[in-house]
Amino acid sequence: MAEQAPSKVTMEKLVSLCQRRGFIFPSSEIYGGLSSLWDYGPLGVELKQNVKQAWWRAIVQERDDVVGLDASIMMHPQTWVASGHLQQFADPLVECKRCHLRWRTDEATDNSCPSCGGELTEPHLFNLMFKTFMGPVEEEASVIYLRPETAQGIFVNFQNVLNTTRKRLPFGIAQIGKAFRNEITTGNFIFRSREFEQMELEYFVKPETADEWFDYWVEERRKWYVSLGIKENNLRLREHTKEELAHYARKCYDIDYLFPMGWAELEGIANRGDFDLRQHAQHSGKSLTYLDEETKEHIVPYIIEPSAGVDRSVLAFLCDAYDEEPDKEEIRVLLHLHPTLAPIKVAVLPLSKRENLVQLAKEIYADLRRSWMVQYDDTQSIGRRYRRQDEIGTPFCVTIDFQSLEDNQVTLRERDTMNQIRLPIAELKKTLAAKLAGEPLFVLPPGGQIWKEERKE
Ligand code: ATP
C-alpha cells in the first residue's frame, strides 16, 4: 500500500471545530453536560442525515432485494429473553466500597479503586440495557428496555415483511434508528456514547450460500466508505477470534477505521446463522420459516448482518476529511467532505452589501435552494468567507460581483483546488449539478477561463 502523510487531525481539534461551528455539542451543556451524550447542531444534523441518506440509497433504494423498516424502540420484554441480551449483554463489574465508582474488572487490576484506592466488591454482572417501566405501576411485571440494537425489530417482523412483500431468498430488511447502551467505558467523543444510531441490514439467505454472501457484504460495505471519500489506507478488516465472537455469531469481521486514538471498529459484519429466527420462533411459538418453492421444504434462513454506527461513521468521515494548509500567518483548516455528505453544498457570497448586488445574490440563492442546502453570507471579507466555508466542508462558493450586474456572469470557486471559473448565471445550476454528482473537473464553457484563487503569501 502507498505511504500516506501522517494525519493532521487530533480529537481535540475535531471536538473544538465541531463545537465552534455547530456540528456537535455536549448534551444538556447548560447544566454541565451529561456523560457520553451528544447533540447534533445545525451543521451536524445535516451531515448525519446525509450519511443516513447515502446508506439508505445504497442499501435500499438502489437495490431490488432489500426493503426498509422502522420498528419501535421499545419492544416486548420477551424479545430480550429470546435474543440473549438479558443473559448475555453484560459486563462483569467491581464497585468501590468507598466512592461507589464501578469499574470493569480489567480496569481495576490490583484490586483497589483506580480513582480513590478504596476496597472493591466481588465482580458482578451489570446489564448494559436501559430499563424503564411501561404503564402507571413501577413493578417487575411492567419492566421494559430501550433497545440496545435495531436488529431485533427486524427479526420479529420477518414474517410480516415476507407475507406483505413476497420477497424470495436472498433478501434483506434494513433499518436506521436509535439504540441505547449503558456503556461503562465511554469517551473518545461520539465514538462510544450511551445513545446512538445504527444502520443495520439483516440479509436472509439459504444456509448453504451464507459464506458467499458474507464475503459479498464485507466487500460491499468496505467499498461504500471508500466511495464516500474514506482513504483506503485508513480502513482495515479484522476477523473476530473464537473467544471474541458474540453468542449468536458464527463468523464476524470488523471494518476498523484508523481514528486519532488508533484502530477501532466502525462496522461489524456477522454471520448470525439461524440463531435469531430459531430463538424468536421458540419463544413466541410462531413459525418463522421460509418455504423453498423448489424443494417445497420449510427452511430457516441464515442471516448476514452488516451493522454500522451512524455516529461512528460521522466521526470517521470528519476525521478523514480534516486537513490543514499553511496560509500566510494563519492555517487554512478545511474539511474535504464528499459533496454527498457536505452539510452545505453551495455558499452564495455577494462581494458587497450594495443593494443591487444583494438583490441579484438573493435571487441566485433562492433558485439554488430549490435543489440544494445553500448558505447565504454577506459578512466580512470574501477571503474570510471562503475560509469559513472551507472549514465546514462546503464544496462550492458562488461569488457575485459588480461585473455580474453587467455581464450576468458569476465566479464559481471549488474548495479542494481553490480553482475558480467565471460562467454565465444561466449555466450555474447545470454546472453545479454535474460537479456535485462527481464530475472531476470544471467543464469550461466556450471562451471560459480558469484561474487559481490568490493565496495570502
Ligand atoms: P464496541 O465493542 O466498539 O462498543 P460493539 O462490538 O459492541 O462495539 P456492535 O454491537 O457490533 O458494537 O454494534 C454495531 C455497530 O454499532 C458498531 O460497529 C458501532 O458502529 C455502533 N455502536 C455500537 N455501540 C456503540 C456506542 N456505544 N456508541 C456509538 N456507536 C456504537
- The β-bridge relationship of strands 346-350 and 396-400 is parallel
The arithmetic mean of pLDDT across residues 50-59, rounded, is 98
pLDDT 10s digits, 88-139: 767 788 888 888 787 888 788 788 888 889 988 888 777 889 999 998 888 8
Q: Is the CB of 307 under 6 A from ligand 1?
A: yes
- Cα–Cα distance measured from residue 214 to residue 270, given in angstroms and rounded to the nearest whole number: 8
Q: CB-side exposure of 344: number of CA atoms within 13 Å?
A: 26
- Would you place residue 446 in the very low, low, confident or very high pLDDT band (cuts 50, 70, 90)? low
The arithmetic mean of pLDDT across residues 132-160, rounded, is 94
Tell me whether residue 404 is exposed, middle or buried, using C-beta atoms within 10 angstroms of its C-beta: 0 to 12, 13 to 18, 19 or more.
buried
Same fold, 11-89+128-318 and 344-452: no
Question: Other C-beta atoms within 10 Å of 439: how many?
Answer: 11
- pLDDT score at 141: 83
**Closest Cα to atom 10, ligand 1: which residue?**
149
**Closest Cα to atom 24, ligand 1: which residue?**
192
Check whether 3 has a pLDDT greater than 50: no
The arithmetic mean of pLDDT across residues 309-337, rounded, is 94
Supply φ then ψ for residue 292, to 5 degrees.
-80, 110
**Closest Cα to atom 28, ligand 1: which residue?**
192
**Closest Cα to atom 13, ligand 1: which residue?**
307
pLDDT 10s digits, 305-314: 999 999 999 9
- pLDDT score at 435: 87
Torsion angle (degrees, nearest 10) of CA 162, 165, 169, 175:
-80
Residues 6+ apart with CB under 8 A from 2: 233
Q: Which residue has the higher pLDDT, 7 or 159?
A: 159
pLDDT 10s digits, 16-48: 999 999 999 999 999 999 989 999 999 999 999
C-alpha cell at 155: 427479526
CATH number at 344-452: 3.40.50.800
The arithmetic mean of pLDDT across residues 49-63, rounded, is 97
Domain over 11-89+128-318 is classified CATH 3.40.50.10860: no
Q: Is the CB of 196 under 6 A from ligand 1?
A: yes
C-alpha cell at 396: 462550492
Q: Which of 127, 192, 272 should be mutated for ligand 1, with most atoms under 8 A from CB?
A: 192
Return the SS3 of 262.
strand
The arithmetic mean of pLDDT across residues 254-267, rounded, is 97
Q: Is the CB of 225 under 6 A from ligand 1?
A: no
Ligand 1 geometric centre to CA of 309 (Å): 6
Q: What is the 3-state secondary structure (H, E, C) of 20-81?
A: HHCCEEECCHHHCCCCCCEEECHHHHHHHHHHHHHHHHHHHHCCCCEEEECCCCECCCHHHH
Q: Is the CB of 313 under 6 A from ligand 1?
A: no
Q: Which of 48, 198, 255, 305 should be mutated for ligand 1, with most atoms under 8 A from CB?
A: 198
CB 204 within 8 A of CB 301: yes
pLDDT 10s digits, 209-222: 999 999 999 999 99
How many DSSP H helices and E strands does the chain contain?
A: 13, 24
Q: Which of 196, 265, 269 should be mutated for ligand 1, with most atoms under 8 A from CB?
A: 265
**Closest Cα to atom 12, ligand 1: which residue?**
268
Ligand 1 geometric centre to CA of 187 (Å): 13
**Closest Cα to atom 16, ligand 1: which residue?**
309
- Would you place residue 170 in the very low, low, confident or very high pLDDT band (cuts 50, 70, 90)? very high
- pLDDT score at 2: 44
Q: Is the CB of 256 under 6 A from ligand 1?
A: no
Q: What angle do CA 169, 172, 176 make, to 5 degrees?
A: 170
Ligand 1 geometric centre to CA of 225 (Å): 17
Check whether 370 has a pLDDT greater than 70: yes
- pLDDT score at 328: 81
- pLDDT score at 255: 98
- Cα–Cα distance measured from residue 193 to residue 183, given in angstroms and rounded to the nearest whole number: 7
- pLDDT score at 4: 53
Domain range summary for the chain, segments of one domain joined by +:
11-89+128-318, 91-125, 344-452
pLDDT 10s digits, 331-351: 999 999 999 999 999 999 999
